[in-house]
């Protein structure tokens, strides 16, 4: 699976740059937004894995942004860490009640922030090195194996990455270009049709036990992994 994407919503550029630098060094992909409007567009376009939100932003508060996101059907499970200069207990409680998963008080060290990010990602995705399970379909990232009802499924490297990505990001629709960005990586040039080819191979490999039904086509939008019938 590609590296995790983190959206930094912070209007103070020096702080944003400092956070971005630390996260890139730690292997994350970084998206940046100086205000809530940019952040909303970014969430809709990229579905990042986690959002860091400053409390004080120019167009709306970070708390309002978090509340908005928790109401979006496709983004509400995205974890949020609030960044703030406010250390008061009451603000902390308001942040957590607004839907934030954790809270970091400024000034913080890059190392502290990184530890909190990793903890939240582990807690919310549960996919660090653990198995991904969808009914009888089990993907084990450490042994690179996939089993369907206890039978080994043989997958090519791209199909394996695609399935890992889908199983870690369920119930959300991804367009072909978003899948290229997240599964293939932003730097390679691949035609969008390539995605369909690999989806077809993945479905074929999952077909014997009927798990191809989890890879759903959403007309005019893209693909989704879901254990519910589309
Ligand atoms: Ca600010």
pLDDT, tens digit, for every residue of 4-17? Answer: 999 999 999 999 99
Domain match, 136 and 119 both: no
DSSP-derived 3-state class of residue 193: helix
How far does the centroid of ligand 1 lie from the alpha carbon of residue 97, in Å? 20
Q: Which residues neighbour ligand 1 (ion) by CB within 5 Å?
A: 11, 54, 56
Distance 84 CA to ligand 1 centre (A): 8
Decide if pLDDT at 188 tops 70: no
CA 221 to ligand 1 center in whole angstroms: 35
Higher pLDDT, 36 or 228: 36
Q: Which of 123, 158, 124, 164 is nearest to 142 (CA)?
A: 164
Q: Are residues 87 and 189 in the same domain?
A: no
Q: What is the 217 CA–ligand 1 centroid distance (Å)?
A: 40
Which tens digits make up the pLDDT trace of 149-182? 989 999 988 999 999 999 988 888 999 988 988 8
Domain boundary among 69, 102, 125: 125
pTM: 0.61
Domain span holding position 197: 132-225
Look up the CATH number of the domain holding residue 55.
Answer: 3.40.50.2300
**230 within domain boundaries:** no
Taking the centre of ligand 1 as the mean of its atom positions, its distance from the CA of residue 150, in whole angstroms, is 51
Residues 12 and 113 occupy one common structural domain: yes
Q: Is residue 1 over pLDDT 60? A: no
Shared-domain flag, residues 115 and 155: no
Domain boundary among 125, 148, 163: 125
Q: Do 117 and 141 fall into the same domain? A: no
Over pLDDT 90: what percentage of the chain? 54
Q: How far is the CA of 55 from the centre of ligand 1 (A)?
A: 6
* CB-CB contact of 61 with 83 (8 Å): no
CATH number, domain with residue 159: 1.10.10.10
Identify the band that residue 50 occupies on the pLDDT scale cut at 50, 70 and 90.
Answer: very high
- Domain match, 102 and 141 both: no
Task: Count the domains in the chain.
Answer: 2
Q: Are residues 98 and 160 in the same domain?
A: no
CA-to-CA separations, 190 to 158, 160, 161, 169, in angstroms, rounded: 13, 18, 16, 22
**Rounded to the nearest whole angstrom, what is the distance from the C-alpha of residue 125 to the centroid of ligand 1?**
28
Ligand 1 centroid to residue 44 C-alpha, Å: 22
User: Which residue did the predictor score with more confidence, 188 or 82?
Assistant: 82
Within a domain: 19: yes
Calculate how far, in angstroms, residue 32's C-alpha sits from the geometric centre of ligand 1.
Answer: 13
79 and 159 together in one domain? no
Ligand 1 centroid to Cα of residue 83, in Å, is 9
Pick the last residue of a domain from 125, 152, 184: 125
Cβ–Cβ under 8 Å, residues 100 and 78? no
**Ligand 1 centroid to residue 124 C-alpha, Å:** 26
Query: How far is residue 58's CA from residue 49's CA, in Å, rounded to a whole number?
Result: 24
Q: 93-134 pLDDT, tens per residue?
A: 777 777 888 888 888 888 889 988 988 887 776 544 578 889
Q: Per-residue pLDDT averaged across 37-46, rounded?
A: 93
Residues 102 and 147 in one domain: no
* CA 197 / ligand 1 centre spacing (Å): 45
Cα 111 to ligand 1 centre (Å): 20
Q: Decide if pLDDT at 86 tops 80.
A: no
- Given pLDDT bands bounded at 50, 70 and 90, which one contains residue 211? very high
> Within this chain, do residues 109 and 158 fall inside the same structural domain, yes or no?
no
């Amino acid at each position: 699976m590609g590296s995790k994407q983190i959206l930094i919503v912070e209007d103070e550029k020096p702080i944003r740059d400092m956070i971005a630098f630390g996260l890139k060094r730690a292997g994350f992909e970084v998206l940046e937004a100086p205000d809530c409007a940019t952040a909303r567009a970014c969430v809709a376009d990229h579905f990042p894995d986690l959002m860091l939100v400053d409390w004080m932003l120019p167009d709306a508060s970070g708390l309002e942004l978090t509340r908005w996101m928790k109401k979006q059907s496709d983004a509400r499970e995205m974890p949020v860490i609030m960044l703030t200069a406010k250390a008061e207990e009451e603000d902390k409680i308001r942040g957590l009640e607004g839907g934030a998963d954790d809270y970091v008080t400024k000034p913080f060290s890059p190392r502290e922030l990184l530890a909190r990010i990793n903890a939240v990602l582990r807690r919310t995705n549960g996919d660090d090195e653990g198995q991904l399970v969808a009914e009888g379909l089990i993907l084990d990232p450490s042994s690179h194996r996939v089993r369907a009802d206890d039978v080994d499924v043989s997958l090519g490297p791209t199909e394996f990455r695609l399935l890992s990505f889908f199983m870690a990001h369920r119930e959300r629709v991804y367009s072909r270009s978003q899948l290229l960005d997240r599964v293939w990586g932003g730097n390679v040039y691949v035609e969008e049709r390539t995605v369909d080819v690999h989806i077809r191979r993945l479905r074929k490999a999952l077909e014997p036990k009927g798990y191809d039904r989890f890879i759903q086509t959403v007309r005019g939008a893209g693909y989704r992994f879901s254990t519910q019938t589309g």
